[in-house]
Amino acid sequence: MNDEVRITYPCDYPIKVVGDVRPDFHEEVYDVVARHDPTMTTDRISQRTSRKGNFISISFMLVAESEQQIESLFIELKQIESVRLVL
């Protein structure tokens, strides 16, 4: 029996990015996500600020075409200085 999880592409794939609250954080993250999923629309994005207002999380419902696309997106998002976590 193979315990490896298989994803069938294309599929909707949720991604959450957590980072420091900065004026340009949302735009930086959105620009990266839009390069990897040109079909991204605002109805597939939600944003929330932490209780103390120190961090912001942005959730995207990506249309994933391949595992390579997801891996490349994660690598590029992690290169943004104010990103603390990508899930």
Q: What's the pLDDT at 6?
A: 81
Residues 73, 3: contact at Cβ < 8 Å?
Answer: no
Model confidence at 12, in pLDDT bands (50, 70, 90)? very high
Q: How far apart are CA 30 and CA 68, in angstroms?
A: 19
- Please give the angle made by the CA atoms of 84, 47 and 36, to the nearest 5 degrees: 70
Helix (H, G, I), strand (E, B) or coil at 57: strand
Q: pLDDT tens-digit profile of 24-78? A: 999 999 999 999 999 999 999 999 999 999 999 999 999 999 999 999 999 999 9
Fold of 11-86: Alpha-Beta Plaits (3.30.70)
Q: How far apart are CA 52 and CA 67, in angstroms?
A: 35
List the chain domain ranges. Answer: 11-86
Provide CB contacts within 8 A for 71, sequence distance 6+. Answer: none
